Amino acid sequence: MLELKDVAKTVGGECHIHPTNLVLERGTLNVMLGPTLSGKTSLMRLMAGLDKPTSGSVYFDGVDVTGVPVQKRAIAMVYQQFINYPTLTVYENIASPMRISGKDNATIDREVRKAAELLKLTPYLDRTPLNLSGGQQQRTALARALVKNAKLVLLDEPLANLDYKLREELREELPKIFAASGAIFVYATTEPSEALLLGGNTATLSEGRITQFGPTIGIYRDPGDLVTAETFADPPLNLLQVVKTDGAFNRDGSAVFSVPSHLARIGDGPLTIAFHPHHLGLTPQTETAAKLRIRSLVSEITGSESFVHLDNEGVRWIMLAHGIHDIDPDTEIDVYVDTRHLMAFDATGRALVAVPQAA
């Protein structure tokens, strides 16, 4: 078990990590999700022992390891900026941690070839990293982490340089591999979709703070505050400032939505409502969907889906619609909001009630 107790990090008078408490169990996959500069890498460096916290302590299996250097910990690390030994072959790069730990040649050969097969590196075992593509070099670094048999595995956006097909395969396989080893698996990403695909637990980060930690799908469906909800949204959430009165959400004195049943218990007054782009469509998803007349701005067609940017009386929204929808800019169109999935937040950003449990 890895435990952070009031761990904080200040550099040059600037707080990089605010006091943080976190417990990660053995055999678990834990995603660090947040935008660039949210503190993901800084937090992982504190977990690893690459940096020492300004205050607080790091415990591993009940032992205080705060001052123990990374070289004396059973840790494997892979960064987006892959690191390999340039003069060694791919085979020897993968084998290096096992040679250092004194494994016999038969074990080394078996584990190297097993990792190489998983990561599609078998044809390149005799090459040096300089004769590989960027994706192949990253796979080599991943393979070296796989064979190290570490107790803590830290992956900092490790799949960013891989092609789409291999990235999808590894997203499925890596959690199984590390969970079977009993290691604590920590995976940093900026992509909410990647966190959802990986599953496990997720810690959402913003400006050096963990805003929420728990089962990934639970945090996505039930964010505790607006910052967490926005961190876990790509494309961005659609937001609207409203006032709840007389069973309706009103804006500028006019009703925008009837209050859905799951929000009926919240008190009257000003609040922010939010919903994901896929809960906004060109056709009603349910009989209770709310119809709005909105001006289109631009359509982005990705193939099977279209992102339609909208202007709702000065508020920018995004609609994710299935299929190809090439809507002319500056056109008034009807859109439908699935109000079952509205989230509500008070003036401090705190979630007022749990959102529905259907994604």
> What are the tens digits of pLDDT across the range 303-344?
889 999 999 989 999 999 988 998 999 999 999 999 999 999
Domain boundary residue among 184, 205, 230?
A: 230
150 and 247, same domain (yes or no): no
Give this prediction's pTM.
0.86
The predicted structure's pLDDT at residue 180: 67
> What are the tens digits of pLDDT across the range 165-186?
777 777 777 777 666 677 899 9
Instruction: Decide which of 124 and 135 is more confident.
Output: 124
Q: Specify the number of domains making up the chain.
A: 2
Residues 6+ apart with CB under 8 A from 344: 263, 266, 271, 272, 273, 274, 351, 352, 353
H-assigned helices in the chain? 40-48, 90-100, 105-118, 134-147, 164-181, 192-198, 216-221, 226-231
The whole-number average pLDDT for the span 256-276 is: 93
The whole-number average pLDDT for the span 257-286 is: 93
Rounded Cα–Cα distance for residues 17 and 40 (Å):
9
Domain boundary residue among 230, 262, 297?
A: 230
List the domain range (segments joined by +) for residue 283: 238-345
Using an 8 Å Cβ cutoff, are 162 and 134 in contact? no
88 and 55, same domain (yes or no): yes
Closest CA to 200 of 77, 183, 209, 211: 183
- Does 355 have pLDDT greater than 60? no
Q: 354 lies in a domain?
A: no
Whether the link from the prior residue into 235 is cis, omega within 30° of 0, is yes
115 and 212, same domain (yes or no): yes
Give the containing element (helix H, strand E) for 249: strand 248-251
Q: 29 lies in a domain?
A: yes
Using an 8 Å Cβ cutoff, are 333 and 319 in contact? no
CATH number of the domain residue 135 falls in: 3.40.50.300
224 and 256, same domain (yes or no): no
Kindly state the tokens that stand for 48: 């690893």
Q: Is 8 exposed, middle or buried (0-12, 13-18, 19+ CB in 10 A)?
A: middle
265 and 185, same domain (yes or no): no
